[in-house]
Amino acid sequence: MRSVFINEVIDQSRFNKFYRNIIVICMLTSIFDGFDLNCFSLVIPSLMADWHLSPVQVGWLGSYGFAGMILGSFAFGPIAEWIGRKRAIIAATTIYCIFTVAVGFARGVTEFAVYRFIAGMGLAGAFPLVVAFTSEYSPKPIRSRLVVWVTSGQAIGTVVATLVGLALLAEYGWRVMFYVAAVPLLVVIWQCFLPESLAYYLKTGKKEKIAQVLVKANPEFALTAEDDYKLTCQHAGKDHPIALFKAGEAKNTILLWIMMIANYVFTFGIVVWLPKLMTLQGWSLNFSLWFTLVWNAGFVVGIPLSGWAQDKFGGRRTLLAIMVMIAAFTSILGTITTPMLLSVMVFFTGACQHAMMGVSGSYIAQNYSLTIRATGTTWGYGVGRIGGIIGPMVGGVLLANQISVPMNFIVFACVPLVSALAVMLTTDRSRVTESKLAIV
């Protein structure tokens, strides 16, 4: 009987049509995820005017969506290990599509809040699950690049949402933005053609399914009737959430959560308040919106370079370099007075921010074994979203206390250094040589 370590067959394969199809489907899921994330912020002015809402009410509506995201992140990880990652991705995508469309039919604030809460649950489940899925189904030499590219779908989705908003909002009103969210239901059909997780096939004893996937993933792999499919020691183990804190995982789990919280504090704190900070610095509204666009355009450089760097130097080293750079760039944004120079600095700061978020997601996914990868990734994002609530609050407090704009940027520049400290203390398990001992 021949022992076949299924994760190694994937690791040693070459990129082909099988992987391309998976990446495209996961990328589309991520793009529509980003579209939905940006919908709410785009409709706020129209929504406030239509329903005569106060800023406080709008804030509460936003928080309901975030609360759903946090709950969904914690729920969908274990669900994915229980019913399979493919099914969980389909369920999460379907939930956020249906209930985002339902928001467009809301007749009042309460309905709006309920639909946003449920949609947020699906939204928070789909994105980290496709990150974990891509990490499982990608050749090891280019794994980080593929995962980081999938995470960039969120940034692309926010840009698409902005363009759709510019085209439709003025003429058709805020509800149309949520109707457009029905389009991702087409992606659900494509998701049905995804393979299931190999770890799930192994757990449920579906040997024939494993064989079919391995042949597609690595055409050079020769099947035999006596093949005994297994996972290497590093990827075997229990799929219960408590496994995140056992077998040496506890330290990494806690440090990765700290990293994600700090990442979200920085990202949402800066992105939400960037236009306001620029206007306070004396720039016109058009210039402020331009700087926001330039920031988001930075992903064009940040994503491919950071994915390549992670494959070559490892996630830990890459993240440390990115976080130090983003802290340095952010700290001087409030002191630049030349439009061209500020645009350049904002572009590269945005590039670092998108790179940081992309590599962080890839780093989390690759640091957990296949059996708990979905749970580890979704819970990491779920805890991190707490920082997404804290970040805008920090910015609001700084402005309320009339802290100068340069000092605002310096305060936020310190946050990536907290992330860097957490990363420095982690163990990069994706770089550890795997044992080939059979798991019985």
Task: Give 22-64 pLDDT, tens digit per residue.
Answer: 999 999 999 987 787 778 777 877 888 899 888 678 777 877 8
Q: Tokens for 224? A: 């035999």
Residue 421: what pLDDT? Answer: 97
Interval 108-123 mean pLDDT: 92
Categorize the per-residue pLDDT at 236 as very low, low, confident or very high, splitting at 50, 70 and 90: very low
Q: Do 3-230 and 241-431 come out as alike in CATH topology?
A: yes
Domains of the chain, by residue range, sit at 3-230, 241-431
Least confident of 255-259, 308-312, 324-328: 308-312
DSSP label at 426? S
Give the pTM. 0.80
∠ CA 351-356-357, rounded to 5°: 105
| The CATH number of domain 3-230, selected from 1.20.1250.20, 3.30.365.10, 3.40.50.720, 3.40.50.2300 | 1.20.1250.20
Dist. CA 367–CA 374, nearest whole Å: 11
C-beta neighbour count of 202 within 10 angstroms: 22
Q: Tokens for 180? A: 């457009």
Dist. CA 61–CA 109, nearest whole Å: 8
Categorize the per-residue pLDDT at 247 as very low, low, confident or very high, splitting at 50, 70 and 90: low
Categorize the per-residue pLDDT at 439 as very low, low, confident or very high, splitting at 50, 70 and 90: very low
DSSP 31-97: HHHHHHHHHHHHHHHHHHHHHT--HHHHHHHHHHHHHHHHHHHHHHHHHHHHH-HHHHHHHHHHHHH
Dist. CA 185–CA 175, nearest whole Å: 18
- E strands of 145-290, at which residues? 228-230
CB 113 within 8 A of CB 103: no
Categorize the per-residue pLDDT at 244 as very low, low, confident or very high, splitting at 50, 70 and 90: confident
Interval 4-13 mean pLDDT: 87
Interval 198-225 mean pLDDT: 88
Residue 74: what pLDDT? Answer: 87
Characterize 10-35 residue by residue with b for buried, 16 or more Cβ atoms within 10 angstroms of its Cβ, and e for exposed. Answer: bbebeeeebbebbbebbbbbbbbbbb
Residue 15: what pLDDT? Answer: 94
61-77 pLDDT per residue, tens: 877 887 888 888 889 98
Least confident of 1-10, 276-285, 424-433: 424-433
DSSP label at 221? P
Residue scoring higher pLDDT (285 or 93): 93
Categorize the per-residue pLDDT at 436 as very low, low, confident or very high, splitting at 50, 70 and 90: very low
Categorize the per-residue pLDDT at 360 as very low, low, confident or very high, splitting at 50, 70 and 90: very high
Is 437's pLDDT higher than 50?
no
Q: List residues bridging with 5 in a β-sheet.
A: 230
Residue scoring higher pLDDT (286 or 403): 403
Termini Cα distance of the chain: 14
312-322 pLDDT per residue, tens: 999 999 999 99
Residue 124: what pLDDT? Answer: 85
Burial of 379 (0-12, 13-18, 19+ CB in 10 A): buried
Dihedral sign for Cα 144, 149, 150, 153, please: positive
Residue 370: what pLDDT? Answer: 78
Residue identified by tokens 């058009």 is 286
Is 388's pLDDT higher than 50?
yes
Interval 150-157 mean pLDDT: 85
Dist. CA 266–CA 21, nearest whole Å: 34
Residue 106: what pLDDT? Answer: 94
Interval 139-146 mean pLDDT: 91
Interval 428-434 mean pLDDT: 63
Dist. CA 183–CA 368, nearest whole Å: 33
CA distances 196 to 30, 86, 91, 231, 232, Å, are: 18, 5, 14, 16, 19
CATH entry 2.40.50.100 includes domain 241-431: no
Is 237's pLDDT higher than 80?
no
C-beta neighbour count of 68 within 10 angstroms: 25
Give CA 145 to chain center in angstroms. Answer: 14
Least confident of 111-125, 214-228, 252-266, 285-299: 285-299
Q: Tokens for 398? A: 């700084």
Residue 323: what pLDDT? Answer: 97
Residue 242: what pLDDT? Answer: 83
* Strand 228-230 versus strand 3-5 pairing type: parallel
Is 253's pLDDT higher than 70?
yes
Look up residue 63 and give its amino acid. S
Is 266's pLDDT higher than 50?
yes
Interval 156-168 mean pLDDT: 83
∠ CA 326-328-332, rounded to 5°: 110
Q: What is the mean pLDDT of the chain?
A: 86
Is 440's pLDDT higher than 60?
no
Is 435's pLDDT higher than 50?
no
Element (H, E) at 111: helix 109-136
Residue 15: helix, strand or coil by DSSP? coil
DSSP 239-260: -SGGGGGSTT-HHHHHHHHHHH
Residue 239: what pLDDT? Answer: 54
Q: Tokens for 376? A: 């580890």
